[in-house]
Amino acid sequence: MTDAAALRSRTRALLAAHPPATTEPLDFLKARFDAGLAWVHYPTGLGGLDAPRSLQTVVDAELAAAGAPDNDPRRIGIGLGMAAPTVLTYGTEEQKRRFLRPLWVGEEVWCQLFSEPGAGSDLAALGTRAVRDGDDWVVDGQKVWTSSAHLARWAILIARTDPGLPKHRGISYFICDMTDPGVEVRPLRQITGEAEFNEVFLSGVRIPDAHRLGEVGEGWKVAQTTLMNERVSIGGMRIPREGGMIGPVARAWRERPELRTHDLHQRLLTLWVEAEVARLTGERLRQQLVAGQPGPEGSGMKLAFARLNQEISGLEVELLGQDGLLYSDWTMRRPELVDFTGRDAGYRYLRSKGNSIEGGTSEVLLNIVAERVLGLPAEPRNDKDVAWKDLAR
């Protein structure tokens, strides 16, 4: 059993063999992965040591103190938070060894091809088709709201493989090479002026059956692992006190007393407390993850994240008055990262509108919390046992 002392010793040995000051960052990250110090709770040989997840903080503290490079987790967040746990759970040994190392070190960026123009909130209604042709699947369809598609090498993809089955049962899950012929990525310009999202067109894209995750027709089951991890990664990010959206508002309140009013003060206090409750709840959720897979609690965290961001950014605009309307950088860009705190208040206000859509709409997440957390009766679903091809669209 690996304990904290053994991990400290192993980490210091890594640092001695590969000094961060003189080692190329990518080389250091590869050595860290091979030493089992990437994510210690993963299996030995796949970046981990089969150690308790809680011991990752021991490794991270040693590396941070030594000034070691990280893998830029925000840039590869979809790979780390969504693709990796799905590959680990459903992938073959060959798939795990092919994809996890370049994913973790940041050599290969991932995106998520799930939502479609006619299947966003009702994801299981998706219409992208995958037809078997020998050892390949030929995929045709359109995906939308795809973050990082313009940067990605790989995508996690769900497609309909049997339209004669009910919508949840005729789906399969694939790994798609974004550089293949037939994959076209187009920018979607947002209210912020940027295009961090994309629409993706798939025309006769050939995916080898060796890049299928899970059994044929069980894609919805596999996708649930992805979605639950996605909501935890969005709503349960580790942040310090007054991190995130509440930080700029609290600083403005302290530094500009001329902006203060009694009404705004009461609203700021309420939102500050709610932000702190959400932060501490996120910490507890991460501790629960040590014992197993993420559950529906992540949906509740993501709900709180979206609502708080929108209310806090609205308060900031009101607090700053005319200055709150400024947005000095409204330009068409294809950003690699979304930076909420390093921009104008106007940007934060506009960008936060997407928080209740991305990673599962708030309406869908309310249903998940109601049914799976509170145990309330499920909404009637008349299409549950109807073949997808017979559904009205």
Catalytic machinery residues = 230
Query: Do residues 268 and 316 touch, judged by C-beta distance below 8 A?
Result: no
Specify the 3-state DSSP secondary structure of 173: strand
Q: Is the distance from CB of 151 to CB of 336 less than 8 angstroms? A: yes
Are 28 and 72 in contact, with CB atoms under 8 Å apart? no
Strand runs labelled E in 121-263: 129-133, 136-143, 154-160, 171-177, 183-188, 197-208, 212-213
Q: Is the separation of the CB atoms in 137 and 131 below 8 Å?
A: yes
Buried b (16+ CB within 10 A) or exposed e, 338-357: bebeebbbbbbbbbbebbbb
Alpha helices in the chain (DSSP H): 4-17, 25-34, 56-65, 77-78, 84-90, 93-105, 219-235, 246-255, 262-289, 297-320, 345-351, 362-368
**Tokens coding 372:** 């799976």
